[in-house]
Chains A and B, each alone.
Chain A
Amino acid sequence: MTINGWLQILVFLALIFAVTKPLGIFMARVFNREKTFMDPALRPIERVLYRVTAVDENHEMRWTEYAISMLLFSVVSMLVLYLIQRVQGFLPFNPQKFGAVSPAHLAFNTAASFATNTNWQAYAGESTMSYFTQMAGLAYHNFVSAAVGIALAIAFIRGVARRQMDTIGNFWVDMVRAFLWVLLPFCIVGSLLLVSQGVVQNLRPYDHAMLIEPQQVQTTGADGKSVATTVTEQVIAQGPVASQEIIKEWGTNGGGFFNANSAHPFENPTPLSNLIELFCIFAIGSGLTYTLGRMTGSQRHGWSVWAAMAILFLAGITVTYWAEAGGNPLLRGVDQRATATQSGGNMEGKEVRFGIANSALFATATTDASCGAINGWHDSFTPLGGMVPLVNIMLSEIIFGGVGSGMYGMMIYIVLAVFIAGLMVGRTPEYLGKKIEAYDVKMAMLVVLVFPLVILAFAAISSVKDFGVSSIANPGPHGLSEILYAFTSGAGNNGSAFGGLTVNTPWYDITMGVTMLAGRFLMIIPMLAIAGNLARKKYVPPSLGTFPVTTPLFTVLLIGVIVIVGALTFFPALSLGPVLEHLMVNAGKTF
């Protein structure tokens, strides 16, 4: 670890701190439907959208109607994405003449993946998807799945804030305002910033470059024999990347235009583009803590939640950075020390311009949030360095978290934390003036239990059956980590991977598709049920017996609940994967 590395990490956190208040206020105004400086440009578009979609913007919904509208929209837009993939050969903007995305289970997997804000990628973008599919199918879902997430978080906050009301807002209005005000204007500016750094944005066919020095390459032919061929040209994949790249991070989606995601020089060419992308991953999630404080009238509560997130972030980055900077002890005769002329450490699967600090930072941030973009391959991280991203997702990505989903995920932990505090002092737990009762805790536990159930059940089957094990690329404990990471990433709607696992098989495509859908919608429905139930309750003024949710003690309790729930659920699985591998790498064992 170097001082300069830590400087970059702290500057990044300072930027996130700085944006929290202005962005939080802005979002509170947008969803309270107060005036903002963007109204003159955006209100006319909003009105046209409501007219063509027959939305009554003054209609208020109960939580059930809110949930049904959200589900209908997700299903319809997911079916359209499936269709676009299957007929992309007949659609425009397809200079490489890609045919339908096939087999069908891959198209299903991808549709489920993007509709749930996961962006798990069982395909390689540059050799599968036409520009039209990337723009109107994949980048489109980056917008709307993020907007849906923000809408849900706002609905939950309203549930806490409202008193004796049956309704929690209008799904269509919240969603439209989320993409029109919060997502779209920033993306136009941000995508041009990225282009200024070298992220490509064009519709040209792939370019063919004549190599300066033609290369002899050994390839394995169809008969299994090694053949030497001479490569004289390089085909350079192009595309409308920047417009997708920016929403990929700003909406914590994570689906790369190219297979190598944000490690690809055309997606993330410079240290500055890397900082912009990192900033985008955390900004909205961080801002929502301020929105929470503002809309519920307890700004200090918002900051105490922010503090819990920041502490967990720092804990994660410390471990990853330390582990990656330490390098791989099995590589002999290699200089892995950090010096003035190299960042050293474990550089397998990392890019020189990012080095160790920025690769560790990106891996931590992308899994703290439910982003899943990568700028280095987590599969090639050291055992403990790769365990941190996995654990981050297992804690359900509430460390700033996915846009919206991080906030409502955190709210579930908050309900549990005040419940446990209530048990300890022997009083009915309260949260910001609302009594937390049996129904709320049951729904919260449903969320907490569905998540590991989906992950561990599918991972268990995959790690004993041939159709699961045969996809493993790295044998030994690392193979279990690959499987565990896949289902964790799917259920957490993250989308990053231990990429060695061959996932474009019927088993993984279908089970991962189911996992992603369960991880999104089976969480949202109980969460909305809590919101609807809270909105109905009377306000109870705080008394001496109320456990305050605005203090450092609350922050500590919240962190405790998060870590204990996560550890109790997943520690046995982790001990057989990354923990075991860590012990073995130090003992010099290979597989």
Chain B
Amino acid sequence: MDNKLKISINDLHFSYKDKSVLSGASLRIMENTINAIVGPSGIGKSTFLTTLNRLWDTTSAEMTGKIEIFFHGVPQDIYDPRFPETTLRRKVGMVFQAPNPLPMSIFRNVAFPLKLAGKTSRGETEESVEKALRQAFLWDEVKDRLHKDALLLSGGQQQRLCIARALVLAPEVLLLDEPTSSLDEKAGAVIEELLVELKKNCTMVIVSHYLAQVDRIADTVHELVGGKFVTGRR
């Protein structure tokens, strides 16, 4: 594993409705690693994730500090006003706690980000969708029913579909907010396995409650304590 810096977080302060969540948090995340963010619930782990793709609610929260992500080796201040958040979110994918497929077919769900990005060539779309579904370990299970409603899939399949959807634009960073917490053990294990496989292409930041899971897949563990990160390999 190489040791290139992927994300640099410097002196992050974050407060939500006057309640301080992060106070001077700094963190360095290396390329092609899985980074677990741990800590008691309600301490702001998920909020921290959303600072990395600017998905937090700007109307009721405030943030200061600097976050740089090295896209193809070039540092980018992700809060630079000239850097559109839609561009950022196409490079930094996110998977949520509960699977959130859209009410459309399996194929159209995975192709949706391509449509949003204005990439509409049919052949390319089909190719990208298949590749993403394979990366998410879902292709074999759905290849015969790509045009069926995505909401008919099982919970574990839906979550892998959401991972595939996040992967279709080939993001360099993937944020995962307790991605297995709504799934049974077996479905969760498949996802853990695929995340480890994804390290080849992606840098991952994962919020997890399960210490066993963190032990199994994380390269680095960052504990959120009093609004700051304490980093250590468990």
A, B from the same assembly: no
